[in-house]
Structure 1
Amino acid sequence: MWNEKYIGLTTYEKGEFKRLANYLLSHTYMVRYEYQSSQQMTLPNYDYQIASRLFGILQDYFAVTGWRLEKDDNYGIMSLINIFDHNRLRIDRFTTLFLYTCRLIYEEEREQVNSFHTVKTDTQAVVEKMRMLGLLDKGKTTQKERIEAQRTLAHHNIIQKMESSAWNNEGNQILILPSILSIISNQGINDMITELDELGVDDDTSTTGEKEE
């Protein structure tokens, strides 16, 4: 049982267990590598290392409470999924389209992807691709839409802002993280054009597999 294993942890490990469990509940995804703007390089994520060490206990704990914790060691992704399909994060239409466009860009750049499994792009490149696909209302978008979409996706470790400063109204350099593969599968890519066509005429809010905050 997870609690028996938990009792055997050190005081420090118990503290990390609690912190990381709460982090996963809030952020849904965790990736093995993160870009450190202060050093201008991608480095191993300490939280991912600790979570991997405690993975068995975390997985058993979440299973008891109705969650499935998964880890992909190939791409370096940890994800938390509700087995009852509850606690889904509702995102607006623009954020949904921004997410799907990021996935398309990731797919197109996969052959050139680096050893960290990240794809570098920027806000303007994503918006321009959305425009080319006819996903923007009258070909336009607002600063508020762009910033809110990026903040939401960054909070869930789907993209990461490369600058240390706040989100810029004019756009930012961003990394598309491999966690995006867990949201939109290869099968999803095969159906992408159809889905995007449907989203292009659907003004309703959409849902992803993440949790509501």
Structure 2
Amino acid sequence: MSFDWIGAATQKELDHFKAVCNQLLSHTYVVRTLYKPGEGRVNNPDYVFISAHFEEIQDYLALLDWDLRKDDLNGYFYVINTDEANRCNLNKKETAILLAIRMIYEENMERLGLEQDAICTVRDVLEKVVTDYAILPAKPNMDEVKRALTTLDNHCVIQRIEGRYNQGSCKFAILPTILSVVSSEKLNVIVSTLRKEDNDEEAEKNSAD
């Protein structure tokens, strides 16, 4: 790693450097645009900074066993741990909610604009989970829904626009980062697996009765 830029950087630049590194390590993604109440989508200054100093940030994070990657087409940076450590593990219901969100994004891809965000509500997600695709046999309670959506928000997969995540009317944006979280191929495989598990559980329950 070359420390030439760091040695010549101003204190403001160094502070921004540390801030974006911590953001990547804490939240996995940095997206090109952010939603601001009253303004809509605005450019993210952290994304601009990483674009300008990509190699320096990539080299620094590599010392910590993190690989910085970028998706120019969809507008985000993200990190992957090269030792496959520090992964975010989701339980079955959280995984089902993630898959429902990925399905909604997939259905809206042809209609997405340049910002590439799909807007939906918590109610839309729950209908997808239980009714449209029957990933789960029953609707999760709203505390579980809030916990799952908050986790995804913390990792820049979604961003809340209005309301609260424990309300069916809550509106949020599905960010294009969802594409690297769950690929189309993985989506189909996981949905089939979850459905099979539920069918097996139901069959065992019926046989026990």
Q: Quote the residue 1:87 is aligned against.
A: 86
Q: Offset at 1:48?
A: 1.1
Q: Which residue of 2 aligns with 1:153?
A: 152
Displacement of 1:187: 2.5
- What is the TM-score of this pair, normalised by structure 1? 0.86
* Paired residue type of 1:17: F
Q: Match of 1:177?
A: 175
Q: Which has the higher contact order (CA 8 A, sep 6+)?
A: 1
User: What is the aligned partner in structure 2 of residue 31 from structure 1?
Assistant: 31
Aligned residue identity for 1:93: K
Aligned to 1:64: 63
Q: Greater helix percent: which structure?
A: 2
- Which position in structure 1 is the counterpart of 2:141? 142
Determine if the alignment matches structure 1 residue 128 to structure 2 residue 102: no
Distance 1:15 1:200, change over 3 A: farther
Unmatched 5+ stretches in structure 1: 204-213
Q: Give the Cα separation in 2 of the matches to 1:199 and 1:37.
A: 41
TM-score by length of 2: 0.88
Contact 2:143 2:166 in 1 (8 A): no
Task: Name whichever of 194-203 and 184-193 sits farther off.
Answer: 194-203
1:166 offset after TM fit, Å? 4.5
Aligned residues: 200
Aligned to 1:209: none
4+ residue segments displaced more than 6 Å = none
In the alignment, is the contact (CA less than 8 A) between 1:97 and 1:199 conserved in 2? no
1:81: Cα distance to partner? Answer: 0.4
8 Å CA contact 2:145–2:165 kept in 1: the answer is no
Distance 1:175 1:81 in 2: 23
Structure 1 contact 118–177 (Cα < 8 Å) conserved: yes
Are 1:197 and 2:195 matched, yes or no?
yes
Residues 67/145 of structure 1: CA separation in 2 closer, same or farther (3 Å cut): same
Deviation at 1:114, TM superposition (A): 1.3
| Structure 2, unaligned runs of 5 or more | 202-209
Could you give the per-residue CA deviations for residues 6-51 of structure 1, whole angstroms, max 9, x where no partner exists? 2122221111001111111100011101111232x11111211112
Larger radius of gyration: 2
Matches of 1:200 and 1:55, distance apart in 2: 45
